[in-house]
Amino acid sequence: MAEPLVYGIDVGTTKIVAIAGRVDTSSGLIEVLSMGEAPSHGLKKGVVVDRKATAESIARALRRCEVQGGPVSVGIAGSHISSINTEVTLLNRSRNLTITEDFVQQLEEEARLTSADEDMRVLHVVPREYILDGSGGVKRPVGLAARRVTMRAHVVSGAVASIQNLLSAVEDCGVEVSQVVLEPLASAEACLSEKDREEGICLVDVGGGTTDIAVFHRGALSHTTVIPIGGESFSSDVAYGMKIPFEAAEKLKVRYGSVLSRTVDPVAAVKLGDRYYNAHFLSEILEYRAREVFEYTRDSLEKFQVKNLLPGGVVLTGGGSLLEGMTELCEEVLRIRTANTAPSRVKGELKAVQKPQYATTIGLLHFSSQNDNRLPEGEGATKFSFGSIVAAIKSWFRGE
């Protein structure tokens, strides 16, 4: 029996990607059936600042995906995201002391209450471990017996207004959202193996508007943070420093960019159109910004005391990680072994998605396949045609 279709939309600062595929639940392999991509407008550092422009961009990506679908998982990032590690304890009052799924749900609901700020909404409660009558290290407590059960969890929250603005822009396109997923969690799902997470590893996803960090230790999520600096910041710096338009700065960065200025000849020139630019100066600008990203990363790891829990090192992903010298500079600043990574569990004809810039997009399909609230296919499930979205959104813009 074929696995059901699942869907995701990565609403990024520089690009929107709509994706459809199937996930083999036994192997974890993803078959990407269709993908549509469009330039992103209306977002700044992962946050919607222009609802209509964002909806237009989403509509273009949906049209280019060209498949029918149902509820989707949507990625979210931005400086409004916050996270904490918390611990909750409940007494198990069942007659035979067996821990049930419902009891675990009660623990998760208690953990959600730790985010008491009415302006914040809990996005994820990710269990780290369970302690049963004083014995820790339990990963799957259901079916085991205990009277006193403690759950240690990582709780991720986001600003209610920012989440609502993102949902509104997606739903303006006639799409039903099943869940909102923190982008570094999606990227980790696509790029990291169980062994990586057990060993202890830090994923740094350098996106267009933000850099997202996720730390795993003993198989559990231990730390997340979002840095409001991404590839767009690099290009803006180049545009300002070299006194050129943003589009030209982006091209220079992609074609000739390096974050290791010491390796670039001080008098070397690179050509774009009919003009020549100093390659060393370009590299100095990019290196300054890249160092800032990795210094933020280092400081975050040290502040939350997880820097020494990473025998697996640091892995870089996301489009911004493709700049020459990023792994070397990260190792220099963090003094931790660093490597590049990309989505690894992909099968099928669309191998083009097996690139760092699509890590979040691929990971969203994993979350869609695991979502217990996903509507069944067939009767009662919402259906929409990506190909018909653009006409609908144009009517909305005209107020029809």
For the segment 168-187, the average pLDDT, to the nearest whole number, is: 93
Compute the distance between CA of residue 93 and CA of residue 163 in angstroms, rounded to an integer: 37
Q: What is the CATH number of domain 82-158?
A: 3.30.1490.110
- pLDDT above 90 for 68: no
What are residue 121's phi and psi, to 5 degrees? -125, 130
pLDDT digits (tens, 9 = 90+) for 260-316: 999 999 999 999 999 999 999 999 999 999 999 999 999 999 999 999 999 999 999
Burial environment of residue 400 by CB neighbours within 10 A (0 to 12, 13 to 18, 19 or more): exposed
Class of domain 193-340: alpha beta
Q: How far is CA 91 from CA 85, 103, 138, 213, in A?
A: 21, 10, 17, 34
Q: What is the mean pLDDT of the chain?
A: 89
Helices (H), 230-338: 231-242, 246-256, 279-303, 326-334
**Identity (one letter) of the amino acid at 70?**
G
Domain boundaries, the chain: 82-158, 193-340
For the segment 361-373, the average pLDDT, to the nearest whole number, is: 80
Compute the distance between CA of residue 366 and CA of residue 186 in angstroms, rounded to an integer: 8
* 8 A C-beta contact, residue 51 and residue 21: no
